[in-house]
Chains A and B, each alone.
Chain A
Amino acid sequence: MKILKSISASAIGLLVGLTLLLTPALGQDNPTLSDAEVAHTAVTANQIDIDYAKLAQERSNNAEVLKFAETMANDHKAVIDQAVALVTKLGVTPEDNAVSKQLLANAEETKEMLRTKSGAAFNKAYIDNEVAYHKAVIEAVEGLLIPESENAELKSLLQSIVPALQAHLEHAQMVQAELNGK
C-alpha cells in the first residue's frame, strides 16, 4: 500500500507539474518556448526515459521488463539522434529552459524512488512510472512542444515521434497488466 501510494504520488506529481506548466493558470499563459528551447526539452524528455531504462537494466530480472527497457533505450536514442541531426542542420543550439528543468527535477525524484526498490516491487514501480511518464510526455509534445515550434521541420519531427510514444505507452500498459496478473 505504501509502495502504491508513493508511486501514484510521484506519477501525479509529474502530471500536476506538467499540467501546471501546460495550462494557463491565474492569467498566466503557456510557457513561451523558442525552437532552441523546444529542441532542448525534446532531447531532455527522451534522455530521461533512457535513464529510467538503464536503471531497469541494472535492477530487473524480469524478461518482459528487460525487453521493454531495451526498446525504450534504443528508440529514445534514435529520436535524440534525429533531433540532434536536425538542429545541427538548422544551426540551432538547444537551450536549457524552465520546462526542461522541471522535467529533470521530477526525474531525479523518480530515479531516487526507483533506486530504493528491487525485485517485483521495482518492476511494478518502473512500469507504472513508464505508463505515467509516456502519458505526460505525449501531453507535453502535443500540447506544448508542437504548438510552440516555429520551424516546420522541427514541428514535423515532433509529430512523427507521437506514434512511437503511443506504442510505448500501450506496450507499457501490456507489461503492467501482465505484472498485475501474476
Chain B
Amino acid sequence: MKNLKLGLLPTSLYFLCLFLFGATFSPAPPKVHTVEISQMRFNPDTLVVSKGDTIVFVNKDLVTHDVTEVSGKSWKSPALTSGDTWRMVALKTTDYFCSYHPVMKGKIEVK
C-alpha cells in the first residue's frame, strides 16, 4: 500500500506541473460565435474571431439560405432551410455571401 502511494506521487506531480504550465501558457480555448440569418441579413455581418474559433450560423428566416465563401470555391455550407444551423471553424479572413440571394454579404475577420 505504502509503496503504491509513493509510486503514484511523481506521476501526480507531473500532471500538476503540466496543468499549471498549460493553464499559464497555452492560448485561450476556442470560442463559439453565432451569426443569425434573419430579415435577409447576416447578423452581425462582420464577425471578428480568433483562429480556430467556431462560428454557428442559424437560419431564422422563412426562406432557404446558405453561407458560401466569396469565390464559391474554398468552402460552402449546405442549403439551410428555416431553423437549420451550420457550424464551421474559422481559419482565415474571408468574405462570404448567400448563393441564393447574392445581395446578402458577410465577412469573417480572423485576427
Contacts and interface: CB of A to CB of B under 8 A. Distances in A.
A74 B64 CA distance: 8
B17 interface: no
Interface residues of A, number: 17
Interface in A67-81: 67, 70-71, 74-75, 78-79
Contacts of A74: 63-64, 100
Contacts of B103: 167, 170-171, 174
A75 B102 contact: no
A166 interface: yes
Given A75-B100, A164-B62, 5 more contacts: A74-B63, A160-B62, A163-B39, A164-B61, A167-B40
Interface residues of B, number: 14
A167 B61 CA distance: 13
Interface string B77-111: 00000100000000000000001111110000000
Which of the listed residues B62, B63, B99, B101 has the most CB atoms from chain A within 10 Å of its own CB?
A: B63
Interface of B: 39-41, 61-64, 82, 99-104
A160 B64 CA distance: 15
B39 A171 contact: no
Contacts of B104: 167
A160 B99 CA distance: 21
Contact of B101 (A71, A79, A82): A71
Nearest to A70: B100
Given A74-B63, A78-B82, A160 B100 contact: no
Contacts of A166: 40
B40 A163 contact: yes
B40 A79 contact: no
A170 B104 CA distance: 10
B100 A79 contact: no
A171 B62 contact: no
A74 B39 CA distance: 16
